[in-house]
């Protein structure tokens, strides 16, 4: 495998070269069987394209990227006004698109609460989403995080969740530490596979652009320039929730998701998610979104199952 970089002048040049919804990069990836990623350095104008794959194919992809770059420069003056008009129209049509998957599928909010959720994520540094399974809490958070990574708003995505043992103790499970905790973190991989595909996800993980870790490993860290997602937050203690929220560093964003009807804490401990809602709801810059069964976007039976359990528990 060979990795090469094409350095760009600024964000405008990067956006022009990527194409609408990254269509230029996706075409090149398919034509030459390479992987192409956008990187932004510490300075806002420091953009680069990273091309990875077999040597000859990387060279051909780089040559076409350079051709596209030169062509864009030549046509910039002539097509300036037309391109602005066209891009504005496309942006208006696709204003609710959060992310476009590697297969070209548009990820969009599908309910009023989901729209509010995405809007809050776009405008606020801490958003806490509470609601039942299947309402898109984690999925839309991951899509928003990938969008922030793609546009250079952050340099890294960090996903974490508490490792709450149900039945089996970690010490009795086979394998090393990674193999013991991997089943607890596996659900977090699903959204990345859908949006990126397994190869691109593995590359970004190997490059530390995506990090998935147990909550216990977050203690003592400061997370700068990152999009931090805490999943299954109903299984945190109050101390863990405070610890996680105070990991937030400069130029970072935090999204917390959880379902307070599925608390697995032992000893009837009070969920850190419940306590956080009471303590933090008065802080104007922290936004809460509450989902209901009406926001479920999984199989139609999931919504009926949630309603049936709610009805039973209220009796």
Decide if domain 100-314 falls under CATH 3.40.50.300.
yes
**Contact indicator for 233, 273 with CB cutoff of 8 Å:** yes
Decide if domain 2-95 falls under CATH 3.30.1370.10.
yes
Instruction: List Cβ neighbours of 28 (8 Å cut-off, separation of 6 or more).
Output: 34, 36, 61, 64, 65
- Under DSSP, is residue 2 helix (H, G, I), strand (E, B) or coil? strand
Is the pLDDT reported for residue 245 higher than 90?
Answer: yes
Q: When comparing pLDDT for 85 and 65, which is higher?
A: 65
Residue 37: strand pairing partners: 50
Q: When comparing pLDDT for 310 and 194, which is higher?
A: 194
Is the pLDDT reported for residue 89 higher than 50?
Answer: no
Return the domain boundaries, the chain. Answer: 2-95, 100-314
pLDDT, tens only, 250-288 = 999 999 999 988 888 876 578 999 999 999 999 999 999
pTM above 0.75, yes or no: no
Distances (CA, A) of 149 to 96, 155, 161, 289: 18, 6, 20, 23
Is the pLDDT reported for residue 44 higher than 70?
Answer: no
pLDDT, tens only, 154-190 = 989 999 988 765 444 455 445 555 566 667 677 778 8
pLDDT, tens only, 60-80 = 888 888 878 877 777 665 555
Give pLDDT, residue 41: 64
Q: Share the mean pLDDT of the chain.
A: 81
């Amino acid at each position: 495998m060979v990795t090469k970089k094409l350095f760009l002048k600024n964000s405008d040049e990067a956006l022009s070269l990527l194409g609408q919804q990254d269509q230029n990069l996706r075409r090149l990836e398919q034509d030459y069987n390479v992987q192409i990623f956008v990187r932004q350095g510490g300075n806002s104008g420091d953009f680069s394209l990273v091309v990875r794959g077999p040597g000859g194919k990387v060279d051909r992809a780089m040559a076409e990227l350079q051709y596209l770059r030169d062509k864009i420069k030549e046509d910039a003056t002539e097509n300036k006004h037309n391109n602005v008009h066209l891009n504005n129209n496309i942006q208006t049509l696709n204003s609710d698109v959060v992310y476009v998957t590697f297969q070209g599928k548009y990820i969009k909010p599908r309910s009023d609460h989901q729209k509010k959720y995405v809007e809050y994520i776009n405008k606020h540094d801490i958003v806490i989403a509470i609601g039942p399974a299947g309402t898109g809490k984690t999925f839309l958070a991951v899509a928003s995080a990938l969008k922030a990574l793609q546009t250079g708003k952050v340099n890294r995505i960090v996903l974490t969740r508490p490792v709450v043992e149900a039945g089996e103790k970690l010490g009795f499970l086979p394998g090393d530490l990674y193999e013991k905790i991997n089943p607890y973190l596996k659900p977090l991989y699903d959204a990345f596979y859908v949006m990126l595909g397994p190869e691109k996800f593995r590359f970004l993980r190997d490059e530390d652009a995506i990090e998935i870790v147990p909550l216990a490993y977050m203690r003592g860290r400061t997370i700068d320039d990152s999009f931090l997602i805490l999943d299954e937050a109903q299984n945190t203690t109050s101390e863990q929730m405070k610890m996680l929220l105070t990991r937030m560093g400069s130029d970072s964003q935090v999204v917390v998701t959880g379902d307070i009807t599925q608390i697995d804490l032992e000893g009837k401990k009070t969920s850190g998610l419940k306590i956080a809602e009471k303590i933090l709801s008065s802080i104007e810059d922290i936004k809460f979104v509450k989902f209901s069964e009406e926001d479920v976007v999984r199989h139609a039976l999931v919504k009926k199952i949630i309603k049936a359990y709610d009805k039973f528990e209220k009796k």
